[in-house]
Amino acid sequence: MKWLRESNRPRHILYGFLGALIGTLLFSIGLTIGKEYGDKAWSGKFDRLDLWATLIGGIAGQIVQLFIIWRIWILF
């Protein structure tokens, strides 16, 4: 799990989480691919670990979003 603390991966996790919390996991995946495409265009390097970090955050955000929706559904 050391690779998650390298570079700017905590920020990838955060943005993946927020993208899935506000949108969906598919939106978070789109953010991930777009960001990595931009990295490849500017620096020539596509980093799979950044992609995985964003997806981990996206999955967590989607789970939290579904829990919130479920709690709202139960109240009404």
Compute the distance between CA of residue 36 and CA of residue 44 in angstroms, rounded to an integer.
10
The structure's pTM equals 0.84
Compute the distance between CA of residue 33 and CA of residue 58 in angstroms, rounded to an integer.
13
Compute the distance between CA of residue 7 and CA of residue 36 in angstroms, rounded to an integer.
14
Residue 43 pLDDT level (bands cut at 50, 70, 90):
confident
Q: Residue 28: which domain range? A: 2-75
Domain count, the chain: 1
Counts for the chain of helices (H) and strands (E), in that order: 3, 0
Q: What is the pLDDT of residue 59?
A: 95
